[in-house]
Amino acid sequence: MKKIFSLFAAMLLCLPLMQGAIKVHTIGDSTMAEYDESTTDKRGWGMYLGSFFDPAYVTVNNRGKSGADTRSFYTGAAYWASVKSQMNAGDYLLIQFAHNDEGTVTYGMDNIEYAQYCSDHGLPAPTDARGTNPQTTYRDMLRAFIDEARALGVNPVLVGPICRAYFQGNDIKRNGKHDLGDKFSKIENGVLYENQSLPAGDSTMSYVKAMKVVAAEKNVPFIDLTEATRQIYLSYGETPCLNLLFCQGDRTHTNAMGGNLIARAAADSLKSAGILADYISIPTDISATPNAIEIGETYCGVAQNKEFLLTGYGLDPKSGTVNLTATANLQISLDKETYASTASVSYSGGSMFQKIYVRANYTAGGEQHDTVYATTGDHAIAIPVSANAISLDGGAAVKATWAIDAKPVPDAVVEGPISAALTMSYMMAADTKADFTDGDETGVTMVRFHNADAAGAKTAWPANEIDENASRYLDFAVTAPEAMDVRITGITMDIAAHSTSVMCYHINTGFGDGFTDVQTIDEKVNMPNLSITHLALTPTLTIPAGETLHVRILPWHNLGEAKSGKYICVKNVKIEGMAFEPQDEGIEEVTGDGLRVTGKILRNGQLLIIRDGKTYNAMGQMVDVE
């Protein structure tokens, strides 16, 4: 009996692992972040890391954030505090920052120090709040992440930032390895010194060296992904590396192949360091990344596009064909244009890398389970696809429309029981121009929006921005009625650039004042000048009763010098959806004048919802019950 009890106790101790209790949380910048597969070819390496772990024991919570430096991630209400709330003792935290810590206005400087310098000298305050010094703030922020993770019983791991593909002969340039020793700025005794440099052997301005110092000081594992990515890039050579691993015209952000290879290198480095090594597998046969597709909630009749990578290294035989078959609700494509239930992929040279696009469209509500099968010879793998399809039957149509056809910009036209507003941060509406082309139509008028200071006055776009500035945006907000949820079925708009061909943007969604649950639903790098693009986006978003959805356009100007007179232009913004009254389950029947303090009730045959002391009918309209 004692032996049986001991065995049972041991099983209980193993139970958290058996249930996949360990989470690996990843925090960092855009090179790690999540991206919507239907809107951009950009892929953060954190998106693929989970495919190299045994999902029965370890899952990955990728919280990389586009545009983040260490301080903005730490102080942003939707980021570090949110990650900490998801952590449990025994979890792991991978920390990769540097790209945005290097700054965009002055290189290698603490932005707060620079802002104080501007204030002291009567200069305009910087609109970009990013930038830390590797000897001071950068190290302090890494220490803060480490200390606070450890206080929760979480195991921190510092990860060297991936290289930028800045080639110089047979090597990567110094700044590509995040050492700003060839060009940086500093303030000494109240004087700003720009374009400073250090000898090649001086690592004072190296963020990777600073991270290594903190790792040694705090006795934290350091994974040198900087060197690992340098080796990957050099193994391809400059032109193949840029063509195969990076987004077009971009030397910082990887595509699916680059993100996958970097995630593979990160997993291999973790395994070599003995970190979760028993749960890491580096496949050499044909495999799918991810090995399962979880769509989550989706709406019936609204197609969802997903993708997976079919990869293989050191394959035997060295050439062959992989046949793909999809079940009922799915179609697959190799080119994102022609979709069918079957497809075939050939490979040679003992390796393959193929992106497979999956389109899911459900007609019935409820839990959905489908599969894509990949077979070659006697080897077969199954990629399960799961979703929770939600019917849109029985809802009330809602719509908020911002025509944006004049300055000042008119208020939104609202249909249905919602409210809507447009706000701007570090942006201003300049004027209207009839210069735009829309297909065959010319002379189309749009409002031009420009970078601005905190007071809304026009100011130059900063130089050397390669990603969004979270403080600069146009914000289109829709608030659900107090007693109804709103399911968003479409977000559309017309968007263009004026007087520039290097204007870029992200469109992000988030909820509430803290802008939480952020998703990037569209992006464009280097927009064509004066040509209107029509966007029709279908993210699955539900606005809970009484809460607010924000749709933010975050522009930046991808130029090596500060410039004014460059504009992003937007018109015909529409956010549409269906509003639904509460379900009938659990409704309390009340007669006469008896009312509960909160909740759903049926009073004399009328459905009422009571929240915060106010009473609403099923359409979200406030009613008087006196």
Q: Which domain CATH number covers 141?
A: 3.40.50.1110
Cβ atoms within 10 Å, residue 617: 17
Q: pLDDT tens for residues 545-583?
A: 899 999 999 999 989 889 999 999 999 999 999 998 755
Residues 14 and 6: their CA atoms lie apart, in Å, by 12
User: pLDDT value at position 10?
Assistant: 39
Residue 328 falls inside a structural domain: yes
User: pLDDT value at position 318?
Assistant: 87
User: pLDDT value at position 207?
Assistant: 98
377 in the same domain as 491: no
Sheet harboring 222-223: ordered strands across?
58-62, 22-28, 92-96, 155-159, 222-223
Q: How many CA atoms lie within 13 A of 114 on its CB side?
A: 25
Nearest-5° Cα angle at 18, 15 to 20: 115
**46: helix, coil or strand?**
helix
User: pLDDT value at position 130?
Assistant: 87
Taking Cα atoms as reference points, which of 563, 569, 555 lies closest to residue 426?
555
Given a contact cutoff of 8 angstroms between Cβ atoms, the answer to whether 360 and 308 are in contact is no
Taking Cα atoms as reference points, which of 560, 556, 557, 542 lies closest to residue 507?
556
The pairing of beta strand 320-326 with beta strand 366-376: antiparallel
Residue 501 falls inside a structural domain: yes
Residue 449 pairs in a beta bridge with 429, 568
CATH number of the domain encompassing residue 323 = 2.60.40.2310
Distances (CA, A) of 493 to 400, 489, 569, 573, 582: 12, 14, 10, 4, 30
369 in the same domain as 493: no
Residues 30 and 28: their CA atoms lie apart, in Å, by 7
What stretches in the chain show pLDDT beneath 70? Answer: 1-20, 582-626
156 in the same domain as 235: yes
Q: Which two tokens stand for residue 81?
A: 């505090």
550 in the same domain as 521: yes
The DSSP string of 155-207 is EEEEEPPPPP--EETTEE-TGGGTB-TTSEEEEETTEEEEEE---TT--TTBH
CATH number of the domain encompassing residue 441 = 2.60.120.260
Taking Cα atoms as reference points, which of 467, 456, 521 lies closest to residue 490?
521
Q: pLDDT tens for residues 462-501?
A: 988 888 998 999 999 999 998 889 999 999 999 999 999 9
Residue 38 one-letter amino acid: S
Q: Which two tokens stand for residue 455?
A: 């007071």
571 in the same domain as 434: yes
- pTM of the predicted model as reported, rounded to 2 decimal places: 0.72
Residues 6 or more apart in contact with residue 560 via CB below 8 angstroms: 463, 464
471 in the same domain as 342: no
- Quick check: bond before 462 cis, omega within 30? no
Residue 126 falls inside a structural domain: no
Given a contact cutoff of 8 angstroms between Cβ atoms, the answer to whether 553 and 416 are in contact is no
Q: How close are the terminal C-alpha atoms of the chain, in Å?
A: 69
Residue 186 falls inside a structural domain: no
Taking Cα atoms as reference points, which of 2, 38, 616, 606 lies closest to residue 306?
38
Residue 539 falls inside a structural domain: yes
Residues 429 and 451: their CA atoms lie apart, in Å, by 9
Q: Which two tokens stand for residue 102?
A: 């290097």
The whole domain housing 26 covers: 16-102+131-177+204-279
* Phi, psi (deg, nearest 5) at residue 461: -70, 135
260 in the same domain as 362: no
Residue 271 falls inside a structural domain: yes
Residue 445 falls inside a structural domain: yes
Q: Which two tokens stand for residue 580?
A: 């639904």
